[in-house]
């Protein structure tokens, strides 16, 4: 995993939303506000945080499905930020997405053979219908779907099967990167494990890189090589998964990890639980200085004045907190 396939620098996505009131006007909603990271070939980067922290927006901005307000996204060294649809099209076959709601992401009027084969029809129109259907059958077999189901419609499948259809559609072009936007959150726990294991098997077979977005830290820990913690559109901490679970340095990361259940009843009963006070602030009016300070038990006057910059804890482990050295260890 030495080669960088994706390099994101200071990425921002700000939406203009109505201010309300008699005079109206618009104000920026800072969904993603200066996110930077790298993704290596064959690596899974887990992206975690509360609902509303900008995870899904970040994933779509990386794929240029949402136009970034600022920053750069480099794909294999080439800047793809702001490319128009025609110029972006050659990159699409290498960058795919799996959506959160399995059934809603599938066209109910198309058979699953047509759904899975549609990307081939778009990017490789020269392939004959017979060869296209054969490739679809092969991919169905790889994701655990019976090839004879090729002429059925989405409503005839369970949620887990629909997600396998979505995975097959994303994989049919053999992409290099897949953004997994909470792909198991709508599934039963037993089915979640099957889908996560399937993604890992496909990653090994095809050398995939994954951006795995989730709010479930147990799932993220299982599948990820590194983990990035987002809060209000900003990176709080990024580190290898073992380091971030064994030695979290940001108060927000500590709170998230403390909420993960431990299978051992004695350890679960005796563990320290960090409870965050208050609600997530509005991204329309984020706190000054450190955006986490309004919920941080260690915040002081300096936190209200100064926005923390990423600092290195050790190789590959950075944290954005003014007081991390006092809190770590």
Mean pLDDT, rounded, for 184-197: 89
User: Domain holding 293: CATH number?
Assistant: 3.40.50.300
Q: Is residue 100 part of a domain?
A: no
**121 lies in a domain?**
no
- Please say if the pLDDT value at position 268 is more than 60: no
The whole-number average pLDDT for the span 124-129 is 94
Which percentage of the chain shows pLDDT scores above 70?
93
Confidence of residue 88 (pLDDT cuts 50, 70, 90): very high
pLDDT at 275 over 60: yes
Alpha carbon 212 to chain centroid, angstroms: 4
Residue 186 binned pLDDT confidence (cut-offs 50, 70, 90): confident
Residue 24 lies in a domain: yes
**319 located within any domain:** yes
Q: Does residue 295 fall inside a structural domain? A: yes
The domain tally of the chain equals 1
> Could you tell me if residue 301 is inside a domain?
yes
Measured CA angle at 85 (ends 82, 87), to 5 deg: 80
Q: What is the mean pLDDT of the chain?
A: 91
Does the reported pTM lie above 0.75? yes
Contact indicator for 120, 172 with CB cutoff of 8 Å: yes
Per-residue model confidence (pLDDT) at position 260: 73
- Identify whether 166 is part of a domain: no
Segments forming the whole domain that contains residue 27: 4-94+175-327
Render pLDDT for 138-177 as a digit per residue (tens, 0 to 9).
999 999 999 999 999 999 999 999 999 999 999 999 999 9
pLDDT at 21: 64
Inside any domain, residue 114: no
Q: Let me know: does 96 contact 116? Beta carbons within 8 Å.
A: no
């Amino acid at each position: 995993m030495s080669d960088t396939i994706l390099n994101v620098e200071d990425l921002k996505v700000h939406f203009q939303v109505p201010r309300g009131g008699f005079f109206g006007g618009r104000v920026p909603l800072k969904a993603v506000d200066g996110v930077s990271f790298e993704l290596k070939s064959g690596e899974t980067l887990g992206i975690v945080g509360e609902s509303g922290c900008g995870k899904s927006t970040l994933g779509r901005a990386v794929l240029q499905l949402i136009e970034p307000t600022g920053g750069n996204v480099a794909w294999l060294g080439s800047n793809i930020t702001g490319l128009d649809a025609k110029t972006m099209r050659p990159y699409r076959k290498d960058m795919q997405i799996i959506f959160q709601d399995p059934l809603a992401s599938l066209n109910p009027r198309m058979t699953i053979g047509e759904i899975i084969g549609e990307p081939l029809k778009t990017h490789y129109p020269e392939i004959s219908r017979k060869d296209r259907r054969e490739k679809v059958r092969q991919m169905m077999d790889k994701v655990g779907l019976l090839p004879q189901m090729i002429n059925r419609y989405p409503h005839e499948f369970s949620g887990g099967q629909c997600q396998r259809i979505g995975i097959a559609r994303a994989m049919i072009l053999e992409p290099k990167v897949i953004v997994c936007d909470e792909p198991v959150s709508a599934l039963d726990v037993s089915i979640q494990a099957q889908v996560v294991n399937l993604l890992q098997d496909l990653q090994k077979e095809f050398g995939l890189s994954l951006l795995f977005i989730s709010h479930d830290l147990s799932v993220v820990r299982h599948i990820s090589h590194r983990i990035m913690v987002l809060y209000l559109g900003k990176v709080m901490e990024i580190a290898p998964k073992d380091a971030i679970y064994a030695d979290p340095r940001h108060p927000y990361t500590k709170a998230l990890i403390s909420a993960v259940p431990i299978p051992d009843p004695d350890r679960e009963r005796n563990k320290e639980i960090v409870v965050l006070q208050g609600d997530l602030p509005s991204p329309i009016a984020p706190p000054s200085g450190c955006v986490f300070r309004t919920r941080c038990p260690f915040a002081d006057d300096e936190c209200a004045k100064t926005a923390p910059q990423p600092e290195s804890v050790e190789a590959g482990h950075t944290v954005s907190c003014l007081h991390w050295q006092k809190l770590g260890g």
